[in-house]
Amino acid sequence: MTTHQNFDAIIIGSGINSLVAGSVLSKSGWRVLVCERNESAGGAIKTSQATLPGYTHELLSSWHPLFVGGPAYAELKEELDKRGLVYNNTELPTGVVCSDGTAILSTNPDITHAEFSRHGDGDSWAQMMGEFTPKLDLAFGLLGADLWRKSSLGLARTARKRFGNRGLVAVGAELLEPASPWLDRQFKSPVSKALLAPWALHNGLGPDDASSAFITKVISAAVAFGGMPVPVGGGIKLVEALTAIITDGGGQLLTQADVVKIIVKNKVATGIKLADGRTFSAKKAVLASTTPQALYNDLLSDEVIPTNIKTSSDNFRYGRAAIQIHLALSEPPVWKTDSRMKDVAIVHVLDGLNSLSESVNAANRGFLPSRPTIVVGQPCVLDPSRAPAGASIIWIQLQENPREIKGDLANEIAPGDGSWNEERLGAYADRVLAQLSEEIVNLKSATIAKIVLGPREIEAMNLNLVGGDPYAGDCRIDQYAPWRPLSAATGHRTPVKKLWHIGASTHPGPGLGGGSGLLVAKRLIKKRFRK
């Protein structure tokens, strides 16, 4: 058994938060070790020519607006640029095809206003943006603040000064409003509503959930201002660049390094133990990018954890399951209703707001939707290198799926034992592709290879995605902001000194932003450590 004493920090897991934390610490002179149980680093970034040679797919996360528009990228951009990371963007980040028509949300405000005006909602969109844009600094500040530091009080003081006491109460109500009533109040056209409503899904919320209106406004504004950037060559290029920052600073990345225990001495985290028996020591900090149960029930199984922390961890819930379908196409997709969609990065295909609400609620109760919301990603619009010349790929995400099947609203798929076995997964994927073929007329003829990833496959790729939950934990309000990861409200601190909790299960939640990793790394840099 070999023990290494020369690391300042050890990070468990190699997702975006781990790599951001490791990079920021390395830039500050820390010697960092990152341990990843899988064969390759990246967490939910899984870039692979998984269908055919020359077709580059993102098997899990694919789009990087949260990262490019966030503080982690600003912090590391110069170093990432040096290592050859290049982002492409588009003027047409998102659109919708629904039963009542089509629309596009553009980074060009004139195009977006014209689209809403076409549906009678130009003034409504302008009003929404006019009212919400002045609050964007506070909105992103709330999502990016370290809620358990005194510095976050500045955000509250700014809000109080700007809105006054009564205004602050009104803003609080706005923060909690579900998307459905807000959309019905703000917009007349069902197309306008269908264009915006699905974006709450990308933060794990349905349109009837508290705070989904706030999340819909935040994401819509972020997309309208920042587009839908992707790294040229795939997300692996970001992973490689972040890893290089760590290794260039004297750190290491170990793959196939399954951490089974956090070593604790006198209630202080001092290192980790791998499944193969190797141990490594950390002088200043251990960061765990895990779920709460994995941290407290597994990695700290030998430690006495305070009852309120243990209970809070055991009660942590996971959300709906994801399904991903990856298609290699011999030619670009041909959209029937609106040919402009061929140039849009992400297109939501759904019947409308009511079908979205029905599908989310059905999945929450264990039922397969009959008409799910289909998220159609077209990466080649931004990065043609993802497919051979003249060909294309499609990235499909389905977010309204039960983790355990109890029934089917279409009465076509028998639930059996409730598991996502190959037969049930294949039947549901066929339903989705048949519905999408109603809109992409050459989908069947152009598809030359296909991969379907169900909840079991997604969890196998990343153990933090329990039951196929792509957000590593239910994102409804009682498990968000100050209550993420625990209702005991501990933030990123743990009851073990020098042990910090990061990752999608922690504040500010899921998405390729690197927020929790940045928050903890910046906090550690400012701490004074005794030698």
Query: What burial letters (b/e) apply to 408-430, b meaning 16+ CB within 10 Å?
Result: bbeeebebeeeebeeebbeebbe
Amino acid identity, position 337: T
pLDDT tens-digit readout, 233-253: 999 999 999 999 999 999 999
* pLDDT value of residue 531: 42
Among 199, 503, 209, 467, CA closest to 323:
467
Evaluate if residue 96 carries a pLDDT over 80: yes
- Mean pLDDT confidence for 507-530: 89
The average pLDDT across 471-487 equals 93
SS3 (DSSP) at 271: strand
Residue 390 lies in a domain: yes
For residues 326 and 312, membership in a common domain is answered with no
pLDDT above 70 covers a percentage of the chain that reads: 94
Average pLDDT over residues 494-506: 97
Confidence label for 155 from pLDDT (cuts 50, 70 and 90): low
* Alpha helices (H) along 365-502: 422-437, 443-446, 455-461
Local structure of 401: helix, strand or coil: strand
- The whole-number pLDDT of residue 464 equals 97
Structure tokens at 203: 């933060």
Domain shared by 329 and 440, yes or no: yes
Q: What is the pLDDT of residues 361-410, one digit of tens each?
A: 999 999 999 999 999 999 999 999 999 999 999 999 999 999 999 999 99
* 289 shares a domain with 341: no
Distances (CA, A) of 501 to 16, 292, 311, 492, 523: 14, 8, 17, 5, 13
Domain with residue 240: its CATH number is 3.50.50.60
Residue 348, domain member (yes or no) = yes
Measured between alpha carbons, how far apart are the two ends of the chain, in Å? 26
Checking if the pLDDT of 272 tops 60, the result is yes
Q: Do 112 and 196 have their domain in common? A: yes
The pairing of beta strand 3-12 with beta strand 279-289: parallel
pLDDT at res. 168: 66
Cα of 261 vs its chain's centroid, Å: 27
Q: Based on the domain organization, do 192 and 288 belong to the same domain?
A: no
CB burial class (10 A; 0-12, 13-18, 19+) of residue 502?
buried
For residue 358, tell me if it sits in a domain: yes
Between CA 213 and CA 219, with CA 217 as vertex, the angle to 5 degrees is: 115
Among 172, 205, 226, residue at a domain's last position = 226
528 burial class (0-12, 13-18, 19+ CB within 10 angstroms)?
exposed
pLDDT in tens, 22-53: 999 999 999 999 999 999 999 999 999 999 99
State the pLDDT at residue 134.
80
For residue 60, is it within any domain?
A: no
Round to whole Å and give the CA distance between 68 and 521: 18
- When the pLDDT of each residue in the chain is averaged and rounded to a whole number, the result is 94
Q: How confident is the model at residue 489 (pLDDT cuts 50, 70, 90)?
A: confident
Span 163-213, pLDDT tens digits: 677 766 776 788 899 999 999 999 999 999 999 999 999 999 999 999 999
Is the pLDDT at 530 greater than 60? The verdict is no
Token representation of residue 364: 């929450």
- Determine the Cα–Cα distance for residues 229 and 100; give it in Å rounded to an integer: 29
| Contact between residue 29 and residue 249 where contact means Cβ atoms under 8 Å apart | yes
**How far apart, in whole angstroms, are the C-alpha atoms of residue 91 and residue 427?**
36
All residues at 6 or more sequence positions from 117 whose CB lies less than 8 Å from its CB, including other chains? none
Which has the higher per-residue pLDDT, 458 or 135? 458
238 domain residue, yes or no? yes
Is a pLDDT exceeding 90 seen at residue 488? Answer: no
Answer yes or no: is 454 within a domain. Answer: yes
Asked whether residue 433 falls in the same domain as residue 340, the answer is yes
* 253 φ, ψ (degrees, to nearest 5): -120, 120
Q: What tokens appear for 320 in the block?
A: 């709906």
Residue range 499-519: average pLDDT? 96
> Do residues 398 and 326 share a domain?
yes
- Is there a single domain that holds both residue 408 and residue 484? no
Domain count for the chain: 3
Backbone angles phi, psi at 79, to 5 degrees: -70, -40
pLDDT score recorded for residue 151:
64
Q: Which two tokens stand for residue 323?
A: 């399904």
For the chain, what is the largest distance between any 2 Cα atoms, rounded to a whole number of angstroms? Answer: 70
Tell me: do 351 and 443 sit in the same domain: yes
- Cα distance between residue 509 and residue 124, in whole Å: 30
Are 205 and 240 contained in the same domain? Answer: no
Question: What's the rounded Cα separation, in Å, for the pair 77 and 75?
Answer: 6
Q: Is the pLDDT of residue 5 over 70?
A: no
Extract the tokens encoding 155. Answer: 């955000």
Over residues 4-15, mean pLDDT: 90
pLDDT at 447 over 50: yes
How does residue 92 score in pLDDT terms, banded at 50, 70 and 90?
A: very high
Q: Which secondary-structure segment (H or E) carries 113?
A: helix 109-118
C-alpha–C-alpha distance, residues 22 and 314, integer Å: 28
Specify whether 81 is located in the same domain as 136: no
> How wide is the angle at C-alpha 411 spanned by C-alphas 410 and 415, nearest 5°?
115
Q: Phi and psi dihedrals of 272, rounded to 5?
A: -140, 160
Please check the confidence at residue 502 and state whether its pLDDT lies above 50: yes
Backbone angles phi, psi at 6, to 5 degrees: -100, 30
Q: The dihedral of CA 219, 222, 228, 229: what is its sign? A: negative
The last residue of one of the domains, among 461, 487, 506, is 461
Query: Which pLDDT band, with edges at 50, 70 and 90, does 136 fall under?
Result: confident
167 domain residue, yes or no: yes
The continuous run of DSSP H or E covering 499 comes out as: strand 499-502
Closest by alpha carbon to 115, among 232, 30, 196? 196
Amino acid 238 reads L
pTM of this structure: 0.94
**Cis upstream peptide for 455 (omega within 30°):** no
The answer to which of 19-23, 123-127, 128-132 has the lowest mean pLDDT is 128-132
Helix (H) or strand (E) holding 243: helix 236-248
Q: Choose the final residue of a domain: 461, 483, 506.
A: 461
| Domain limits for position 192 | 94-226
User: Which tokens belong to 311?
Assistant: 């209970």
Q: What mean pLDDT comes out for the span 342-368?
A: 98
Q: Are residues 417 and 510 in the same domain?
A: no
Segment 491-506 shows an average pLDDT of: 96
Cα 337–Cα 340–Cα 346 angle in degrees, nearest 5: 95
For residue 467, tell me if it sits in a domain.
no
Give residue 152's pLDDT: 65
Nearest to 201 by CA among 338, 45, 335, 346: 346
Give ∠ CA 510-512-516 in degrees, rounded to 5: 60
User: What pLDDT sits at residue 38?
Assistant: 97
> What sign does the CA torsion over 103, 176, 404, 38 have?
positive
How far, in Å, CA of 20 to CA of 519, rounded? 10
Question: Rg (Cα) of the chain, in Å, rounded?
Answer: 23
What is the pLDDT confidence band of residue 120, given thresholds at 50, 70 and 90? very high
